[in-house]
Amino acid sequence: MGKSISILFIVFRLALGGFMIYGGIQKFQKPIPEPIEVVEKAQKFASPEKESTLQKILYISGAKQTGYFWQVLGICELLFGLLLIVQGTGFIGAIFLLPITLHIFLFHLFLEADEVGELIQTGALFFINTALVLREKEKWKHLLWIKPI
C-alpha cells in the first residue's frame, strides 16, 4: 500500500507539473492584443445575455494589457512546474503553485461555472496541489503550531 501511494504522488507531481509547464508555454504562444482589439472584441459581447463571456474577455485581456502580469504568470507556471517535476524540489514547487492553482480554480468557479469539465479539471489540479503540500506537513507544521514550553 505504501509503495502504491508513493507512486500515486509521483504521478500527481508529474501531472500537475506537466499542466503548469504547458499552461506557462501557452502564455507566450499568442501575441498580446492591442487595446483597440480588446475593446472591439468586448463590444461584440456587450448584451446582457453574454455578460459572462464579456467578464472573461475583460479579465484575461486586462491581465494581458498590464504588459507584465500575463508574462510573469507564465514564467511562474513554467518555473514552479519544473520545480515540481524535479525530485529534490517538488515540495517547494507545490508550495509556490498553491496560490496559482487556487486562482485558476476560482476563475473557473466564478467565471465559467457552466463549463463543468473545466471546473472538474481545475478542481482536480487544486486538489492534487493541496494533497502534495499536505503530504509534506512534517516539513512545515512547526510554522503553524507553537509547542508549549
Rg (CA), the chain: 18
State the pLDDT at residue 95. 96
Task: Give the pLDDT band (50/70/90) at residue 32.
Answer: confident
CA distance 77 to 101: 10
Q: Residue 98 is placed in which grid cell?
A: 498553491
Determine whether 87 is exposed, middle or buried from the number of CB atoms within 10 Å of its CB (0-12, 13-18, 19+). exposed
Task: Give the pLDDT band (50/70/90) at residue 149.
Answer: low
Answer whether residue 145 shows pLDDT above 80. no
The pTM (predicted TM-score) of the whole model is: 0.87
Question: Mind listing the pLDDT tens digit for each residue in 37-83?
Answer: 888 888 888 888 888 888 888 899 989 999 899 999 999 999 999 99
